[in-house]
């Protein structure tokens, strides 16, 4: 990403590991920063799970992706990019953005269909669980 925090991360990563960070490294870093922001948000009180969850949803950290926040369904609201692998002048490979495919998309979770009984009605969870995991 072409932003100061991403450039700093890439330089620090390369200095520490002598390799170019991939997408998973960036996502792992963002995850650690999100968790850190939540811990700071609850002043270290991790016993209050509702407060921790609320602090995570606030996402008060500087993401390597740029602007970052969560949708009501818990998925990130973010840009999506077409990327390619490119060889750098130093011979190492990196991911490069070709173009922004979707600007600031809020992913929506599809509704998962529940199994139906022989009358076409949705089967309650407890019946479905019993069918797949019969009690001994």
Per DSSP, the residues of 8-52 read: HHHHHHHHHHSS---HHHHHHHHHHHHHHHHHHHTTT-TT-HHHH
CA distance 124 to 114: 8
39 found inside a domain: yes
How many domains does the chain fold into?
A: 1
121 found inside a domain: no
117 found inside a domain: no
* pLDDT attached to residue 12: 97
Instruction: Write out the residue range of the structural domain in which residue 58 sits.
Output: 4-109
Mean pLDDT by 10 residues, the chain (136 residues): 92 95 93 97 96 95 89 85 91 90 65 58 54 49
* pLDDT attached to residue 87: 95
pTM of the model: 0.69
* pLDDT attached to residue 61: 94
Query: Rg (Cα) of the chain, in Å, rounded?
Result: 21
69 found inside a domain: yes
CATH classification at residue 83: 3.40.50.2300
């Amino acid at each position: 990403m072409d932003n100061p925090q991403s450039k700093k991360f890439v330089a620090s990563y390369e200095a520490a590991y002598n390799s170019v960070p991939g997408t998973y490294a960036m996502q792992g870093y963002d995850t650690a920063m999100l968790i850190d922001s939540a811990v700071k948000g609850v002043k270290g009180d991790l016993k209050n799970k509702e407060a921790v969850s609320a602090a995570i949803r606030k996402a008060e950290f500087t993401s390597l992706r740029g602007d970052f926040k969560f949708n009501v369904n818990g998925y990130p609201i973010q840009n999506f990019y077409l990327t390619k692998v490119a060889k750098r002048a130093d011979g190492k490979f990196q991911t490069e953005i070709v173009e922004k495919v979707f600007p600031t998309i809020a992913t929506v979770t599809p509704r998962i269909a529940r199994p139906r009984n022989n009358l076409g009605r949705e089967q309650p969870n407890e019946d479905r669980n019993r069918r797949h995991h019969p009690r001994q």
